[in-house]
Amino acid sequence: MDHFKRVIKARAKVNFHLSVVGRRADGYHLLNMLNGTLSLADVLTVKAQIAKGEPRIEFQSSNPNHTALPDDSSNLCVRAAREFVSLFSAPLDVQIHLEKIIPSGAGLGGGSSDAAAVLVTLAEASRVHLGHNCSAHSLLELALSLGADVPYFVAGGGFMRVSGIGEETKPVCSRGMKGENIVVIVPKIHSATPEVFQEFRTGAYDFSQKDFEFSDTELSYPKLLSLISNDLFLPAQCLYPALGELANYLNGVQGIRFGMSGSGSSFFILSDRPGCPAEELRSKVRTRELPVEAQVHTCQLLDNSFEFCSK
Ligand code: C5P
């Protein structure tokens, strides 16, 4: 194969709404979520060529804040590439470089977005250079086997209603909301998703009885604000009490609405009216007054998972 190279921005997500509505026999929880995509992104460089021998996956990372990530199966990018090559019998040597920007353990789906970007890129490499057509269904099944948030990114991201354990995705028409500013607070707390779900299961938390509703064909900004809630907040707060202190602090800030994303630890902040300039929204959060050590990112809402930067 000729030289195949893609540089991709793999974006983060937030869950504006997350209700836990049941549990499957295998222990996974059934969810109803409303997701959105942020401009905050990791940058992946993926190169692929036809393997001369056994397919090889090479992985490197750079990370402004932390040490390099592992290149073994504990890394979702590496697993995505290995399992793609095996499932689709694609004889590829793959090189991945990941510039890690999205904080881990923050409920922002960074690892899932990276894995989804690898899958989508290798599907393109296989189509263009091997003539393989990976079925969308198989790709989504592979995505789900990697993690419950991966199908959302493979399906294209943006405003989506996501249900099941994460495999049912339905785009939501959100015209006019692209580019809205959103501030994300990332506390220095690594929230462990399995432990938060376990706390939900063992604590006295009820399943949500009612699905969230928006029958409108279009999701308006006021409707979005009214849907903000997260059933994992109380169990996450039980494990990480500082999250409760952060929520108390944000409750006292005028002119905003906020929620926790995923199983934490990040909180997102929207203005209580659309079109609020980034500086004005950002100025509402005084980093030095926050009750927890945290990074604060000013982002925009975007309507798809990836940006393909160059070929
Ligand atoms: O799929 P992912 O790796 O993100 O999930 C991490 C863990 O969170 C799972 O192993 C499971 O314990 C829990 N989980 C769950 N129900 C979901 C998603 C995740 O119980 N819908």
Domains, the chain, in order of start with CATH, read 4-171 (3.30.230.10), 181-302 (3.30.70.890)
Strongest mean pLDDT among 55-64, 128-137, 164-173: 164-173
Q: Express each pLDDT in 87-115 by its tens digit.
A: 999 999 999 999 999 999 999 999 999 99
Kindly indicate the confidence band of residue 63, based on its pLDDT and cuts at 50, 70 and 90: confident
146 CB-near residues (< 8 Å, 6+ apart): 76, 79, 80, 83, 112, 115
- Residue 135 reports pLDDT greater than 80: yes
State the pLDDT at residue 287. Answer: 83
- Is residue 102 within 8 Å of 38, Cβ to Cβ? no
Q: Which of 27-36, 71-80, 86-95, 121-130 has the lowest mean pLDDT?
A: 71-80
Kindly indicate the confidence band of residue 211, based on its pLDDT and cuts at 50, 70 and 90: confident
Ligand 1 pocket check for 197: Cβ under 6 Å = yes
Q: Which of 37-41, 70-74, 237-241 has the lowest mean pLDDT?
A: 70-74
- Is residue 59 within 8 Å of 115, Cβ to Cβ? no
Residue type, 207: F
Q: Express each pLDDT in 180-190 by its tens digit.
A: 999 999 999 99
- Is residue 178 flagged as an active site residue? no
Task: State the Cα–Cα distance between residues 47 and 58, nearest whole angstrom.
Answer: 10
Ligand 1 pocket check for 79: Cβ under 6 Å = no
Q: From ligand 1's centre to the CA of 198, what distance in Å? A: 10
Complete DSSP assignment for the chain: ---EEEEEEEEEEEEEEEEEEEE-TTSPEEEEEEEEEEEEEEEEEEEEEE-SSS--EEEEEE-SSSPPPP-STTSHHHHHHHHHHHHTT--EEEEEEEE--SPTTSSS-HHHHHHHHHHHHHHHHHHHHH-----HHHHHHHHHHH-TTHHHHHTT-SSEEEEETTTEEEE-B-TT-TT-EEEEEEES----HHHHHHHHHHTT-PPP-S-----SSB--HHHHHHH-EETTHHHHHHH-THHHHHHHHHHTSTTEEEEE-TTSS-EEEEESSTT--HHHHHHTS-GGG-SS-EEEEEEEEES-SEEEEE-
Selecting among 42, 93, 114, 149, the annotated active-site residue is 149
Nearest to 160 by CA among 268, 9, 13: 13
- Residue 76 reports pLDDT greater than 80: yes
The whole-model pTM stands at 0.96
70 CB-near residues (< 8 Å, 6+ apart): none
- Residue 282 reports pLDDT greater than 60: yes
Ligand 1 pocket check for 29: Cβ under 6 Å = yes
Q: Express each pLDDT in 11-62 by its tens digit.
A: 999 999 999 999 999 999 999 999 999 999 999 999 999 998 999 999 999 9
Kindly report the protein residue whose alpha carbon is nearest to atom 10 of ligand 1.
Answer: 194
- Is residue 13 flagged as an active site residue? yes
Quickly tell me which residue has 């790709």 as its tokens: 139
Q: What is the number of other CB atoms lying within 10 angstroms of the CB of residue 174?
A: 21
